[in-house]
Chains A and B, each alone.
Chain A
Amino acid sequence: MTPILEAQNVEFAYSAGAPVVRGVSLRVNPGKLCALIGANGCGKSTLIRLFAGLLAPAKGEILFGGARLRSIPRREAARQIAYVPQAIAMVFPFTVLEVVLTGRSPYTARFRFEDESDRERAMGALARVDAAHLAARRVTELSGGERQMVAVARALAQQPQCVLLDEPSAALDLKHRAALVRTLATLRDSQGLTAFVVTHDLHLIDPLFDYVFALRCGALEAEGPPTEILTDRVLARVYDDPHVRARRVEGRTLIWSN
């Protein structure tokens, strides 16, 4: 099977600093829900930004569907890959609908505005993340969690094959965290969506995620199904913390550090 996303020996450094991503090779198969985990500053966000095409690797190559990501026209790539950034700081008081409608821009010609069908898709995307009631609100008035849901809705309005989410659950409450993962799993099962999620929220991963990649100091430390990665031994290595414990309880993995 051709992977939908692939990193081939990718290296990246910000300006003249030490490399943040060091020789990472990984393959994300289509229709899978994948997590990227690792300690703070280990290069997770940089790697996801490389996959989103926001950064260009210094060495190696990022492939999308077997083609070099850099060779795919930007708007074409935007129809295939959606990216939800970590922090959604909005300066201007756009309405939520205006924000989500921008997800339709890769499909809209330069001098055209979105039409009714775009509005329906945007509203549908908002409904998927349980935020349709926010449509007319100013995005600057929303809580961090609500903004996060709006950003996810925009990504869904893009109707991508693959969605990249950078810590999407960071500002979400318990209910919405679980709901977000369920939504991604539903879209995976019904539409074959691939999701690549950077997360510190290890409890989210098991049982709905298919695969986990673990970074340590910019390099790929481990990869495999959640049950293989979410173990004392692997997590202790990934987080440099011998006190991490992972136990299976009622079909899912609980993780804590003593």
Chain B
Amino acid sequence: MESTAKPVLAGVRIWRILLILTILLAVLMVLGLGIGSRTIDLSQLRSDPVARIVFFRLRLPRVLMAALIGSSLALVGAALQALFRNPLADPATLGVSGGGAVGASIAIALGWGERVSGVPLVFVTAFCGALAAFLLVHRISRAGPLLLPGALLLGGVVVNLIASAAVLTIQYVTDPTRAIQILRWMIGSLDVVGFDIVWRMLIFLVPSWLVLLAFSRDLHLLAMGEDTAASLGVNVKRCEIVIHLVCSLLVAVTVAVGGAIAFVGLIVPHMVRLIFGEDLRIVLPGSLLLGAAFLIAADMVARTALSPLELPVGAVTALLGGPVFLWLLHRRQRYSAL
């Protein structure tokens, strides 16, 4: 069927899309702040000191943390899918989260709670693990100028297997308290008290987001093929290096703080694509906003579904994301060359 409809230019669509997603995020933030084991409304904040503490010390940092982690993971997923030209790429499937988890587990097991010039050491070790996994998988999947999609995903699976074996071994040999700490952290949690960690994350996350967004045009061109991008003026090597470093940093910080929260990076960019189209200059900022909204929503489900029992948010995203992942695999004829 041949269509004669005149497609709307991305530059015209983007503002409307970002406005819609911002409103959605704002609504979910308000809901996330209000809903929980006890419902808090604005009037209580003035009169009830306990409500105030719950709101400002627990609820607000938690919602902000969900937003930061969700947007970072979704943005990384969108960038990786474009960089590798693979719709199944995300920090979890490529083993980047696994690498970060090994790094973070080592820091936890050794009790490295200290900071180096204000940076928690667990961020540093997670970054090293994530970057190592990233480079390894990229190296395995590259054959000259080609990226082999099968080798990429298989490489990711194997790196994940190695990583989970490594984490298990670390848990086994470390003392039981720290082993439980690692286990709790691995499931993924947004439990946080106060803003200290939120500020610390922001220092790393916001500049990384800006760098990735600044590269969205290059990623848009890269998604169409490496030679095409290069012949249109993209410095492919530089772009790859920057994306590797920035994505490793984002994954490391989110993994170190929230644990391995699966599938956000995979499904959120696809939601944005399905609704708003393929242009990466829209998919990247769109994923940033929808990722935040998605994880706030998943956290609300985690807090309220079996209340007063609280589910780990990583389990909720995996339970939601797993079926979506399978559906994508089933529908992969939508994507050629996979």
Q: Is B49 an interface residue (CB 8 A)?
A: no
Which positions 205-227 of chain B face chain A at CB distance < 8 Å?
A: 214, 217, 220-221, 223-225, 227
Q: Are A91 and B223 in contact (CB under 8 A)?
A: yes
Chain A residues, Cβ within 8 Å of B220: 102
Which positions 56-99 of chain A face chain B at CB distance < 8 Å?
A: 74-78, 81-83, 85, 88-95, 97-99
Q: Is B244 an interface residue (CB 8 A)?
A: no
Q: Which of B214, B220, B221 has the most CB of A within 10 A?
A: B220
Q: Indicate the size class of the contact surface on chain B.
A: 35 or more
Complex CA gap A97/B5 in Å reads 11
Q: Is B334 an interface residue (CB 8 A)?
A: yes
Q: Are A90 and B225 in contact (CB under 8 A)?
A: yes
Which positions 23-68 of chain A face chain B at CB distance < 8 Å?
A: 49, 52-54
Q: Indicate the size class of the contact surface on chain A.
A: 35 or more
Q: Are B228 and A102 in contact (CB under 8 A)?
A: yes
Assess A91 versus B2: contact at CB under 8 Å? Given A54-B227, A102-B232, A114-B11.
no
Chain B residues, Cβ within 8 Å of A119: 9
Among the listed A75, A81, A102, which residue makes an inter-chain contact with B224, where contact means beta carbons less than 8 Å apart?
A102
Residue numbers of A with Cβ under 8 A of B are 14-15, 49, 52-54, 74-78, 81-83, 85, 88-95, 97-99, 102-103, 105-106, 108, 110-116, 119, 133-137, 140, 154, 158
Chain A residues, Cβ within 8 Å of B85: 91-92
Chain B residues, Cβ within 8 Å of A115: 9, 11
Q: Are B9 and A106 in contact (CB under 8 A)?
A: no
**Interchain Cβ contacts under 8 Å between A and B, 23 examples:** A52-B231, A76-B233, A81-B231, A83-B227, A83-B228, A83-B231, A89-B225, A90-B224, A91-B87, A91-B337, A94-B223, A98-B7, A98-B10, A98-B278, A102-B221, A105-B217, A106-B232, A106-B233, A113-B14, A114-B9, A119-B9, A135-B6, A136-B3
Q: How far is the CB of A72 from chain B (nearest CB, A)?
A: 11
Question: Which A residue's beta carbon lies closest to that of B334?
Answer: A93
Q: Are B338 and A91 in contact (CB under 8 A)?
A: yes
A-B contacts, CB under 8 A, total: 120
Q: Are B214 and A110 in contact (CB under 8 A)?
A: yes
Q: Is B181 an interface residue (CB 8 A)?
A: no
Q: How far is the CB of B1 from chain A (nearest CB, A)?
A: 9
Complex CA gap A121/B175 in Å reads 67
Chain A residues, Cβ within 8 Å of B7: 95, 97-98, 135-136
Question: Which B residue's beta carbon lies closest to that of A123?
Answer: B6
Q: How far is the CB of B242 from chain A (nearest CB, A)?
A: 14
Chain A residues, Cβ within 8 Å of B39: none
Question: Which A residue's beta carbon lies closest to that of B234?
Answer: A74
Q: Are B214 and A112 in contact (CB under 8 A)?
A: no
* Pairs of residues from A and B, 7 with the lowest C-beta to C-beta distance, nearest first: A113-B11, A78-B233, A75-B233, A83-B231, A136-B3, A89-B337, A74-B233
Question: Which B residue's beta carbon lies closest to that of A155?
Answer: B231
Q: Are A85 and B3 in contact (CB under 8 A)?
A: no
Q: Is B336 an interface residue (CB 8 A)?
A: yes
Q: Which of B2, B14, B145, B227 has the most CB of A within 10 A?
A: B227
Question: Which B residue's beta carbon lies closest to that of A75?
Answer: B233
- A interface footprint on B51-86 (CB within 8 Å = 1, 0 otherwise): 000000000000000000000000000000000011
Q: Which of B224, B228, B231 has the most CB of A within 10 A?
A: B231
Complex CA gap A154/B232 in Å reads 10
Assess A90 versus B233: contact at CB under 8 Å? Given A85-B228, A113-B9, A137-B2.
no
Chain A residues, Cβ within 8 Å of B221: 102, 105
Q: Are B11 and A92 in contact (CB under 8 A)?
A: no
Q: How far is the CB of B258 from chain A (nearest CB, A)?
A: 29
